[in-house]
């Protein structure tokens, strides 16, 4: 049985939707409460059994490498201050998994970013986790997908059902049902209009398990939507010769590449945080009460 041990995380984007915050720091390092977003992604990979992570970076991404490296000065400072909990936490970040870096020299799309990692992957199946999709679930999303991959031995795409009016934000899959949560992908459309979408659209949500033959498809693929090499187009080509499945995962997905999605994730993760959760609940109640009072005052005027 083939075991998935490698994962690719594309992290070369400029993060323009978060300017000016991302002018001098990677968007992947923006924190949700007390962790950068990319750490949530890597923790999911590790909890799913991944042993090697390949991060595809671009210029101005050095902070990602520094975060997952040892910080001797900080460790010495924490040790002298007898801050053992913080010391262990900092060391654990550097030791959680083997991380490799490859530079995407041109911003030619998601498909091209994944193609940039081909030499590290070799000829074995691998996972892809997109940094804009943070998924909260009892069983890690990728672990759920690996379980299905081990049974069905085919390319696997993580999906969730969405309203038809939202399809233009996502790559969408149309397929036939195989089991309660598994579909055989029969068509894929990148950001369709509502008129182009299937009746029950399944949106691609930033998690994949891919066979190495995807690299052959990417190598021969002409630019697609937006003049970029689209992974969705490569998967559609691959589906002509291999099985491509869509797995409807269990969990809540946060689009942290969107400002409102990022704020929503921050609030909900703060509510669940063991140190500040109760204080956040109290603050939100106070804020809502204050807002309600203001609205009453406006109506009286």
CATH assignment at residue 64: 3.90.550.10
Residue 295 inside a domain? The answer is yes
Confidence at residue 260, expressed as pLDDT on a 0 to 100 scale: 95
DSSP 3: -
pLDDT reported for residue 181:
92
CA distance 226 to 191: 11
Q: What is the mean pLDDT of each run of 10 residues along the chain (301 residues)?
A: 90 88 92 96 96 91 92 90 90 92 87 93 96 95 95 93 84 87 88 78 92 93 78 90 94 94 96 95 93 72 51
Decide: helix, strand or coil at residue 198. Answer: coil
Q: Is residue 1 part of a domain?
A: no
Residues 281 and 233 in one domain: no
Domain coverage including residue 219? 6-254
First to last CA, the chain: 71
Query: Beta-carbon neighbour count of residue 82 at 10 Å?
Result: 7
CA atoms within 13 A on the CB side of 16: 0
Asked if residue 174 belongs to a domain, the reply is yes
Query: Is 125 in the same domain as 268?
Result: no
Output the pLDDT for position 5: 95
The reply to whether the predicted model has a pTM over 0.85 is: yes
What CA–CA distance (Å, rounded) separates 301 from 299? 5
């Amino acid at each position: 049985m083939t075991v998935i041990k490698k994962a690719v995380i594309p992290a070369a984007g400029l993060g323009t939707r978060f300017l000016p915050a991302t002018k001098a720091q990677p968007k992947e390092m923006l924190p949700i409460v007390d962790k950068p977003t990319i750490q949530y992604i890597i923790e999911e990979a590790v909890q799913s059994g991944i042993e090697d992570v390949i991060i595809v970076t671009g210029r101005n991404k050095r902070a990602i490498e520094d975060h997952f490296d040892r910080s001797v000065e900080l460790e010495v400072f924490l040790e002298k201050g007898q801050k053992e909990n913080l010391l262990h936490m900092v060391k654990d970040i550097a030791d959680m998994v083997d991380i490799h870096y490859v530079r995407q020299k041109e911003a030619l799309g998601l498909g091209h970013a994944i193609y940039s990692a081909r030499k590290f992957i070799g000829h074995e199946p691998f996972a892809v986790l997109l940094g804009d999709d943070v998924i909260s679930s009892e069983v890690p999303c990728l672990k759920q997908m690996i379980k299905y991959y081990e049974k069905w031995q085919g390319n696997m795409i993580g999906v969730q059902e969405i309203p038809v009016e939202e399809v233009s934000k996502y790559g969408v899959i149309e397929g036939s049902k195989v089991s309660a949560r598994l579909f055989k992908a029969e068509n894929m459309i990148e950001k369709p209009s509502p008129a182009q979408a299937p009746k029950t659209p399944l949106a691609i949500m930033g998690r994949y398990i891919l066979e190495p033959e995807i690299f052959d498809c990417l190598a021969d693929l002409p630019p697609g939507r937006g003049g970029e090499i689209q992974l969705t187009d490569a998967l559609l080509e691959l589906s002509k010769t291999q099985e491509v499945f869509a797995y409807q995962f269990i969990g809540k997905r946060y689009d942290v590449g969107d400002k409102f999605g990022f704020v929503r994730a921050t609030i909900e993760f703060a509510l669940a945080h063991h140190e500040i959760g109760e204080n956040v609940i109290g603050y939100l109640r106070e804020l809502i009460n204050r807002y309600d009072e203001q609205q009453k005052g406006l109506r009286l005027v």
